[in-house]
Amino acid sequence: MSDSTTSPLRRRLLAGGAAGAAIAGAPFVSRLAYAQSLPIKIGFPTPLTGAFSAEAQDQVRAAELAVKEFNAAGGFNGRKVELLVRDDKLNPGEAATRTLELIEKDKVDLIVGSLSAATQLSINAICKSRKTLFNSISQSDAINEAKDWSFYTFHEALTPHATAGAVARYAFPKFGKKVVYLTADYAYGHEMVRGFQRAGQAFGMQTLADIRHPLGAADYSAFLPRIQALKPDILVLCNFGRDLLNSAKQITDFGLKKQMKVIAPVLLYTARQAGGAEAFDGILGGTGYYWGMEDTIPSAKKFNDKFRKAYGGAVPSDYGALGYAGIRSVLQAIQEARSTTATAVANVMRKMRYDFYKGTQFYRLCDHQSVQSIIIVESKSTGMKDKYDVFKILSIEAPSESNLRTCDELGHKVI
């Protein structure tokens, strides 16, 4: 299948008829020349529809920015990059199907994307068996474990373990010893709790209860009287996105914030925008990126300016920024490797030090986890300069392998 630019139907007709034979019999040299002018195809499955569509569409915007930049700079050997965005609908089955489509029909060179633990694991499973490079841009602990991981798996996003740990290291010494967790009952939530508890050992933290709520619950009121009765110093909301928004809102209504400090592992920029200042007032949490970093990090300033210019003054969200970084990092690796084959690109990425948007990062050798800084922010409710100004940066934890789970623990034989 050399002519992957023609329409699928046409391609099939060609392949079936005499024309197919003619193409197959064409001189080898001309086909090689043709391949060099072909675009580099990057598959980008992400949930354009569904609960995280706002975040996903921001991912796409930022990814397109990275692609435009690369093409404007001349591409790779004159080859331009083409981004093939596919809607996985936040459904792992759909994500698997779309990944198969990208690999089998579109013949993409590599894949970047995803926005949930379950979809990234299913995309990874498909890529792993077909030896296609996949750079995941959403959080999960499982993808780093030897069971799921492969040489072609890269993880650009933070891990829940590291994020929770960073928030714990910042908040636990400040607000008291007794903790209650309100946790979404799925792997991601459990991973967060594990991260908090691990980091909490050093401070002698005491877990009063780990209350697990159904994933995607709209009402949390039924969990709150017990939390009130337990009288903890700190309440940790180990949930994500809309679950976090709903629980934060109801905690505010029940007046719990007056009695305890509320913290969350991940404060989403988009969820804060959707939820408003009141619900998140005073809540402290972690994030992989906040545009306000531009005051101290030059690469963040550069990235923000480019994004603002391209999208009418808007600033990139945390997950959006990951779309940018995920694409830029594979493109840089292609340049350096002077090749698009998965093994060559992976080998370069393993050695790369890069700074695209948040300071220096690199991929840990054993599990290809991007080792990066973690930002601790607090939601603002007064003194906002404009609608983008929603968080106050409290601290930035420097990148360190020691904050990740060890390679041994993940089941990797140390390479």
Would you say 169 or 190 has its CB closer to other proteins? 190
Query: How far apart, in Å, are the Cα atoms of 116 and each of 94, 108, 112, 286?
Result: 13, 22, 13, 17
How many C-beta atoms surround the C-beta of residue 77 within 10 A? 13
Would you say 118 or 334 has its CB closer to other proteins? 118
**Does position 255 bind other proteins by CB under 8 A?**
yes
**Does position 161 bind other proteins by CB under 8 A?**
no
Q: Please identify, among the stretches 166-174, 228-236, 289-297, 393-401, the one whose residues bind other proteins according to the rule CB under 8 A.
A: 228-236
| Helix 318-337, helix 342-351: angle, nearest 10 | 110
What are the start-end ranges of the E strands in 110-258? 110-113, 133-136, 153-155, 178-184, 206-213, 234-238
Let me know the angle formed at the C-alpha of 115 by 59 and 271, rounded to the nearest 5 degrees. 75
CB 256 within 8 A of CB 224: yes
| Residue among 46, 59, 91, 239 that touches other proteins (CB under 8 A) | 91
Give the x/- contact pattern for other proteins in 106-135, rule: CB under 8 A: -----------xx--xx-xxx--xx-----
Would you say 124 or 373 has its CB closer to other proteins? 124
Handedness of CA 381, 386, 387, 389 (dihedral sign): negative
Q: How far apart are the first and last CA of the chain?
A: 37
HSE-CB at 166 with a 13 A cutoff on CA atoms is 31
**To the nearest whole angstrom, how small is the minimum distance from the Cβ of residue 374 to other proteins?**
23
# of chain residues touching other proteins (CB under 8 A): 73
**To the nearest whole angstrom, how small is the minimum distance from the Cβ of residue 297 to other proteins?**
26
Q: Which residues between 264 and 283 bind other proteins (CB under 8 A)? A: 270, 273-276, 278-279
Q: Please identify, among the stretches 68-76, 248-256, 354-362, 364-372, the one whose residues bind other proteins according to the rule CB under 8 A.
A: 248-256
**Does position 253 bind other proteins by CB under 8 A?**
yes
**Does position 153 bind other proteins by CB under 8 A?**
no
Q: Which residues between 42 and 71 bind other proteins (CB under 8 A)? A: 48-51, 53-54, 57
Would you say 55 or 397 has its CB closer to other proteins? 55
**Does position 230 bind other proteins by CB under 8 A?**
yes
| Residue among 110, 167, 224, 266 that touches other proteins (CB under 8 A) | 224
Would you say 19 or 398 has its CB closer to other proteins? 19
